[in-house]
């Protein structure tokens, strides 16, 4: 073997020994974090929409109750008018 071939072999061995670890793990961690973030965002969105729907139904119910109360008051006032 020539000197260059020996040096090349040692260089390859050294390069393999100090080779950087594959970038697959950080990408997997990033993907997992991103997936968790999106799942959490979707869960929070569903909770917010449920709260808004409940508030809207509650407001609608309170509006209905208020209108019925107003109708009863008008009716009571007309029935029990003082002469």
Examine residue 15 and state whether it is found in any structural domain, yes or no: no
Asked whether residue 45 is domain-assigned, the answer is yes
Q: How many distinct structural domains can be found in the chain?
A: 1
pLDDT tens digit sequence for 39-59: 999 999 999 999 988 888 777
Spatial distance between the Cα atoms of 12 and 35, rounded to a whole number of angstroms: 39
Q: Which of 55, 34, 52 is nearest to 44 (CA)?
A: 52
Q: In this structure, is residue 50 part of a structural domain?
A: yes
- Please check whether residue 13 lies inside any domain of the structure: no
Give the 3-state secondary structure of the chain. Answer: CCHHHHHHHHHHHHHHHCCCCCCHHHHHHHHHHHHHHHHHHHHHHHHHHHHHHHHHHHHHHHHHHHHHHHHHHHHHHHHCCCC
Assigned domain for 17 exists: no
pLDDT tens digits, 30-39: 888 999 999 9
pTM over 0.75: no
11, part of any domain? no
1 belongs to a structural domain: no
Domain assignment present for 33: yes
Task: Print the domain residue range for 47.
Answer: 23-79
């Amino acid at each position: 073997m020539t000197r260059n071939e020996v040096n090349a072999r040692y260089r390859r061995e050294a390069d393999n020994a100090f080779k950087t670890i594959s970038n697959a793990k950080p990408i997997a961690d990033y993907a997992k974090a991103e997936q968790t973030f999106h799942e959490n965002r979707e869960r929070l969105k569903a909770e917010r929409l449920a709260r808004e729907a409940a508030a809207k139904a509650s407001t609608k119910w309170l509006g209905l109750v208020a209108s019925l109360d107003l109708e009863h008051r008008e009716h009571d006032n007309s029935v029990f008018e003082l002469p």
